[in-house]
């Protein structure tokens, strides 16, 4: 990639990130006269501790690739971030990963308390679908498609299902098909949903949607392996890709999933430099 090319992609992503942040602030504003201010403040605390906004960026980059409307894409992009943020809040709870810090700041149950963290996660999960249903720029048909993709990806065979397996097999020996199911559910489904939702907003063909899903799932699987590889030096007894495969094989598998993702992307009859750039950045 030339330096000029990289600068253009970086600039686009920077602009998208600031649009997403502005839109998140607008969506999470609350009327002055409510009694539940603490709930909204807790949601804002988690939403605005500095995350990478990868899922909203994937959605907007997909819409951009297919000349879809960024104005239409912003609310769905924020709704994905609501779901992602809820999952991180619940994942940090003592009954799950029991983490005191998230994104370099005290996790929500440490900053507030456990009940507030459970309820704030519930609120963000529910609010994602409320905000999507209320979006003034989307047709009823698009809303239904977006809600279907997002709810499936977050549900019992998606993120929640992946998390259930992750906990069930935390201290059990894994095999490759179980690990695949955990990674696909916990991480790849929501990554893919972000991309597929960008496809819905741009009214892509069924064939393009299939390539986008292949791209999304393989990118998500590579991203989860990348996360495990980066954490490989942390001392943990937890079963992970590293305990199953060892570091070298995990690095090989990450490269294989990345290649599959990029090859699906190249099958689409449109150049997608921004998505390719973002995928490379996620795995660097």
User: Which range binds ligand GRG by CB under 6 A, 68-76, 157-165, 234-242, 269-277?
Assistant: 157-165
Who's near 36: CB < 8 A, 6+ residues apart? 30
Comparing CA positions, the residue from 197, 169, 180, 173 lying closest to residue 256 is: 180
Please select the residue that binds ligand GRG; options are 72, 109, 184, 186, rule is CB under 6 A: 186
Pick 155 or 271: Cβ nearer ligand GRG: 155
163 binds ligand GRG (CB under 6 A): yes
DSSP code of 134? H
Stretch 78-97 residues interacting with ligand GRG (CB under 6 A): 87-88, 90-91
Q: Cα(108)–Cα(64) distance, rounded to whole angstroms?
A: 34
Q: Does 159 bind ligand GRG (CB under 6 A)?
A: yes
Q: Is 224 in the site for ligand GRG (CB under 6 A)?
A: yes
**How remote is the C-alpha of 215 from its chain's centroid?**
14
Nearer to ligand GRG, 179 or 204 (CB): 179
Q: What is the dihedral of CA 83, 88, 94, 96, to 10 degrees?
A: 80
Q: Is 229 in the site for ligand GRG (CB under 6 A)?
A: no
Centre a 10 Å sphere on the Cβ of residue 126 and count the other Cβ atoms it contains: 12
Identify residues 12-51 at the interface with ligand GRG (CB under 6 A): 51
User: Residue 27 or residue 188: which is nearer to ligand GRG going by CB?
Assistant: 188
Among 218, 201, 205, 183, CA closest to 270:
205
- Rounded distance, CA 261 to CA 282, Å? 12
Query: 65 or 163: whose CB is closer to ligand GRG?
Result: 163
Closest CB to ligand GRG among residues 98, 134: 98
**Interface residue list for ligand GRG (CB under 6 A):** 51-52, 54, 87-88, 90-91, 103, 159-160, 163, 186-187, 224, 227
């Amino acid at each position: 990639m030339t330096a000029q090319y990289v600068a253009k992609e970086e600039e686009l992503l920077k602009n998208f990130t600031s649009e997403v942040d502005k839109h998140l602030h607008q969506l999470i504003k609350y009327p002055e006269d409510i009694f539940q201010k603490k709930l909204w403040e807790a949601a804002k605390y988690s939403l605005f501790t500095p995350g990478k906004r990868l899922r909203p960026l994937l959605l907007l980059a997909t819409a951009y690739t297919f000349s879809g409307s960024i104005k239409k894409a912003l609310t769905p992009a924020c709704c994905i971030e609501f779901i992602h943020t809820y999952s991180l809040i619940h994942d940090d709870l003592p009954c799950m990963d029991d983490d005191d810090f998230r994104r370099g700041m005290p996790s929500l149950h440490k900053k507030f308390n456990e009940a507030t963290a459970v309820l704030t996660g519930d609120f963000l999960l529910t609010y994602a679908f409320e905000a999507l249903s209320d979006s003034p720029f989307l047709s009823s048909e698009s809303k239904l498609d977006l809600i279907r993709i997002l709810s499936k990806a977050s549900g019992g065979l998606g993120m929640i299902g992946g998390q259930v397996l992750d906990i069930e097999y935390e201290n059990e020996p894994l095999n490759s098909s179980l690990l695949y199911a955990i990674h696909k559910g916990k991480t790849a489904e929501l990554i893919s949903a972000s991309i597929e939702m960008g496809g819905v907003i741009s009214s892509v063909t069924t064939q393009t949607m299939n390539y986008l899903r292949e791209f999304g799932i393989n990118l998500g699987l590579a991203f989860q392996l990348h996360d495990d590889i980066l954490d490989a030096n942390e001392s943990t007894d937890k079963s992970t890709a590293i305990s199953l495969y060892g570091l070298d094989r995990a690095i090989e598998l990450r490269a294989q999933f990345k290649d599959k993702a990029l090859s699906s992307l190249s099958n689409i009859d449109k150049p997608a430099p921004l998505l390719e750039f973002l995928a490379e950045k996620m795995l660097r």
